[in-house]
Chains A and B, each alone.
Chain A
């Protein structure tokens, strides 16, 4: 009766472990002299790529008006129920605008569904990842904090057009 040789069976050299230990030690020694990957955070900040999903923001056109038409789709799709929209009428071409647009940043899970569902490309995920609040009420972002000029969001809009 022959014993089948299995892949995990070691040769004599492997059973000694010593060559493998030496290999492992050599690897760690080599790594000691490699450049390290750490960013010194408060001084050096991580610049995320366009695909990064930071906090959701509203796109503000060059004339200072938001793109949003207050259709409420983002609010409907939001799995965390973080978005609240109240529509109002305007004399501009788009006829509707959000009178009140609030995102509770304590509820937001950064899934990006609001951005995906938006028919106007009016709400997009930004590269902003530093979110600090002193009070719970501070975490509810209104239009004052959500509106971001379109020029600052070029990267993301470009990315959405190519890959969405």
Chain B
């Protein structure tokens, strides 16, 4: 392949991934509303289009037509920059996650991820930590006490949960001996899923992922009853839509990361024993990635509509006194497994 072919293939992949991401975010919002309705014995959106399927687009058009309000007391530059940081982080992170095995298409060998970064997991961790700047900037630059409290909570929360998240990932890295997501998926061949091998690490990672994405048991940065809207109190129109988009994009990334690190990525156990053709196997593997991600996303939404919010001090003590030691125990457990079974 010459350089132009590589560039064109990459561009096509980027466009497909972006469009897919935006559509998934739109319908994630739709399903969030639907599932919340089902949990509360309601019907949910069903007026716009058949079964309310056009509701997300109606929401977006409504947001775009709203007036963009910038508070007088705000720092205008950072106030504008903050939603861009949030959206950029939300979309750039997806580049390294493989959704399937390499495929042959029109004589080209195509990898089903945008970039094979050999330190991909580090890249994801770095970018998601960057996401906190979007929220903190938004909180600080709005010039409102509610926003500021939301922003501060967000950074404090991020610090407490990034640690246990990093340590739970360390367990995965010990087993796969690589930081590349492709290698990590390959290491979970058959039933060697990390969720089965190291269940404690799985739980700490999932809980930390909830905290990282500001989802409900830990959505303190935007706690409505106490902080009005939290960090995005002073945002409206498209900038608000940016934060909304980023929140759901982060959810998708978190679920894709959980699947990649702990649920075997696109691997389906014993699929090579079924004797299917190459095409069928590949399609099933890609589908399995999406099914697993969808299940995790459903779990995210399900938890949101079941559990109440943690108090601020409870959140901190859970992060430092429970999750952090558990993640350390997990590393010892994995190390012991490697010592005993030479995995």
A contact set with B: CB distance below 8 Å:
21, 24-25, 27-29, 31-32, 34-38, 40
- For the residues of A in contact with B, the DSSP-based class is helix
Which stretch in B22-30, B116-124, B191-199, B300-308 binds the other chain?
B300-308
**B9 on interface, CB distance cutoff 8 Å:** no
In the complex formed, the residue of B with least CB distance to A24 is B306
**B43 on interface, CB distance cutoff 8 Å:** yes
**Contact B41 A35, beta carbon cutoff 8 Å:** yes
Q: How far is the CA of A24 from the CA of B306 in the complex (A)?
A: 6
B33 to chain A: closest CB distance in Å? 13
B101 to chain A: closest CB distance in Å? 34
**Contact B42 A38, beta carbon cutoff 8 Å:** yes
**Contact A25 B302, beta carbon cutoff 8 Å:** yes
In the complex formed, the residue of A with least CB distance to B35 is A32
Q: How far is the CA of A35 from the CA of B39 in the complex (A)?
A: 11
Would you list 29 pairs from A and B whose C-beta atoms are within 8 A, ordered by A residue? A21-B306, A21-B307, A24-B306, A24-B307, A25-B303, A25-B306, A25-B307, A27-B306, A28-B39, A28-B305, A28-B306, A29-B302, A31-B38, A31-B39, A31-B40, A31-B41, A32-B35, A32-B38, A34-B41, A35-B41, A36-B37, A36-B38, A36-B41, A36-B43, A37-B41, A37-B42, A38-B42, A38-B43, A40-B43
Given the complex, which residues of A lie within 8 Å of B41, measured CB to CB? 31, 34-38
Which 6 residue pairs of A and B lie closest in terms of their CB atoms, listed nearest first?
A28-B306, A32-B38, A38-B43, A36-B41, A28-B39, A24-B306
- The A-B contact count (CB < 8 A) is 34
A14 to chain B: closest CB distance in Å? 15
In the complex formed, the residue of A with least CB distance to B305 is A28
Given the complex, which residues of B lie within 8 Å of A29, measured CB to CB? 302
Given the complex, which residues of A lie within 8 Å of B37, measured CB to CB? 36
Q: How far is the CA of A35 from the CA of B43 in the complex (A)?
A: 10
**Contact B302 A36, beta carbon cutoff 8 Å:** no
Most chain A CB within a 10 A radius of its CB, from B39, B302, B303: B39
In the complex formed, the residue of B with least CB distance to A29 is B302
Given the complex, which residues of B lie within 8 Å of A35, measured CB to CB? 41
Given the complex, which residues of B lie within 8 Å of A24, measured CB to CB? 306-307
B contact set with A: CB distance below 8 Å:
35, 37-43, 302-303, 305-307
In the complex formed, the residue of A with least CB distance to B46 is A40
Given the complex, which residues of A lie within 8 Å of B43, measured CB to CB? 36, 38, 40
Q: How far is the CA of A36 from the CA of B41 in the complex (A)?
A: 4
Q: How far is the CA of A40 from the CA of B46 in the complex (A)?
A: 10
Q: How far is the CA of A27 from the CA of B302 in the complex (A)?
A: 11
B305 to chain A: closest CB distance in Å? 6
Given the complex, which residues of B lie within 8 Å of A34, measured CB to CB? 41
B332 to chain A: closest CB distance in Å? 21
A162 to chain B: closest CB distance in Å? 33
A137 to chain B: closest CB distance in Å? 33
**Contact B39 A32, beta carbon cutoff 8 Å:** yes
Q: How far is the CA of A35 from the CA of B303 in the complex (A)?
A: 21
B269 to chain A: closest CB distance in Å? 26
Most chain A CB within a 10 A radius of its CB, from B35, B37, B40: B40
Q: How far is the CA of A29 from the CA of B38 in the complex (A)?
A: 9
B143 to chain A: closest CB distance in Å? 38
In the complex formed, the residue of A with least CB distance to B41 is A36
In the complex formed, the residue of A with least CB distance to B38 is A32
In the complex formed, the residue of A with least CB distance to B306 is A28
B216 to chain A: closest CB distance in Å? 12
A39 to chain B: closest CB distance in Å? 10
Q: How far is the CA of A34 from the CA of B38 in the complex (A)?
A: 8
B304 to chain A: closest CB distance in Å? 10
Given the complex, which residues of B lie within 8 Å of A27, measured CB to CB? 306
B64 to chain A: closest CB distance in Å? 28
Q: How far is the CA of A79 from the CA of B297 in the complex (A)?
A: 55
Q: How far is the CA of A27 from the CA of B306 in the complex (A)?
A: 8
Given the complex, which residues of A lie within 8 Å of B35, measured CB to CB? 32
Q: How far is the CA of A34 from the CA of B306 in the complex (A)?
A: 16
15 more contacts with CB within 8 A, not counting A28-B306, A32-B35, A32-B38, are A21-B306, A21-B307, A24-B307, A27-B306, A28-B39, A28-B305, A29-B302, A31-B38, A31-B40, A31-B41, A32-B39, A34-B41, A35-B41, A37-B41, A38-B41
Q: How far is the CA of A36 from the CA of B306 in the complex (A)?
A: 17
